[in-house]
Amino acid sequence: MLKLKFNSYLLLFCCFGFFSCVASRSSSTDVRTKPNIPVPEKMDFPVELQNLQSQWQRVKSKYDRLPVSQLQQSGQDKKLALSSISYILNDVQKTFKEEEKSKALKKVPNASTDLDLAESLVGDLQSGRAPFKSRKGDMHLAYRSDLDGTLQPFRLYVPENININQANPLIVGLHGRTGDENSIMDSYGDRKTNNSIFKQKGKEYGFILVTPKGREAELGYQNAAEKDVLDVTSMVSAVYSIQTDKVFLTGHSMGGGGTMLIGLKNPQLYKALAPIAGGLWVAGGINNLSVEAKKLPVQFYHGTADNIVPADPSALQATKNALSNFKFLEYQGEDHGSIFFRSVPEIFKFFSGKL
């Protein structure tokens, strides 16, 4: 028996992720706005941290020599490179401040990879090359919000097997309440291989993937968090060649609710929606949707064993009545977390059928 609450505002805020996600990376200001930031000197740094510190100092030194004010007047690609370099420097610096060496050492591989990316972006800016013209792979980037000037991180995956000289479809993925921009990319591994099922399917079906950070969980993808999702999508579309009529939105848990909220509020931006284990609540009410929103293809994925966001027949019926292209897919025995693995392959098939 379905038990999904429809008009409860709190549904968006009760969508907890099943997995313990990557620690949230908070918004930060440009590292250059804090001149002469010292890296804490610790004589007992393990060699791995000493190497990371040397790498950080090398990238920071190169970044400091860039004509930042001039580059900030350039195109979106160079602005994105600058903001991403600054974010990475700030974020990696936190590694040296970890009180427990074991925690710091766990961060070294990802931190070193991020610094490699930052150094490569610095090299492009130094030489005058377009930073993202031929850049593929998994990238941790950040853009500067025009709301408050903060650096807001996001993950971008451009599969190595796609042709970026032609327009490609884009999937935007929204994380759950306890997650961040890394969660969908990293924390949801394939049940057999433990590799990211989201990136696996992106490569298989030829989609560029982006996962924004939803700021504070309390926002529930509203206000500044909603704007970040829209801004990140716009930024990626400006830097890469994206089929603007082939942009799709999905999300898990709170991100599922965010998919309904943002997607039905901005139906002109999306080809289809695929919420997973989220709330059916929509700002303004399900009965006050635009004509475009009512026609938007929506496939909602839910598990019968989901006790975190259970289902209510009246909410489901109201949604079916309001949306002319809505489909509710329920999977026997799947809970709030496992439904992600079960649904992702079906979601990519669904989206690819709309290309």
Look-up: residue for tokens 């890394």? Answer: 182
Helix axes 101-127, 76-93, angle to 10 degrees: 160
Q: Which residues pair with 159 in a beta bridge?
A: none
pLDDT in tens, 4-53: 433 443 343 344 343 334 334 444 445 554 445 555 554 467 899 999 99
The yes/no answer on whether domain 1-26+145-355 falls in CATH 3.40.50.1820 is: yes
What is the average pLDDT across 138-156? 96
What is the average pLDDT across 131-156? 96
Strands, E assignment, the chain: 137-144, 151-158, 168-174, 208-212, 242-252, 272-276, 298-303, 326-331
Residue 274 has pLDDT above 70, yes or no: yes
Domain ranges of the chain: 1-26+145-355, 28-136
Give dist(CA 34, CA 236) in Å, integer: 28
**According to the model, what pLDDT value does residue 44 have?**
66
pLDDT in tens, 328-348: 999 999 999 999 999 999 999
What does the mean pLDDT of the chain come to? 86
Residue 148 has pLDDT above 70, yes or no: yes
Give dist(CA 144, CA 154) in Å, integer: 11
**According to the model, what pLDDT value does residue 40 have?**
52
User: pLDDT band for position 283 (50/70/90)?
Assistant: low
Rg (CA), the chain: 21
User: pLDDT band for position 217 (50/70/90)?
Assistant: confident
**According to the model, what pLDDT value does residue 33 have?**
45
What is the average pLDDT across 55-76? 93
**Tokens representing 194?**
């433990």
**According to the model, what pLDDT value does residue 154 have?**
98
Residue 192 has pLDDT above 80, yes or no: no
What is the average pLDDT across 261-284? 89
pLDDT in tens, 167-187: 999 999 999 999 999 999 987
**According to the model, what pLDDT value does residue 194 have?**
58
User: pLDDT band for position 74 (50/70/90)?
Assistant: confident
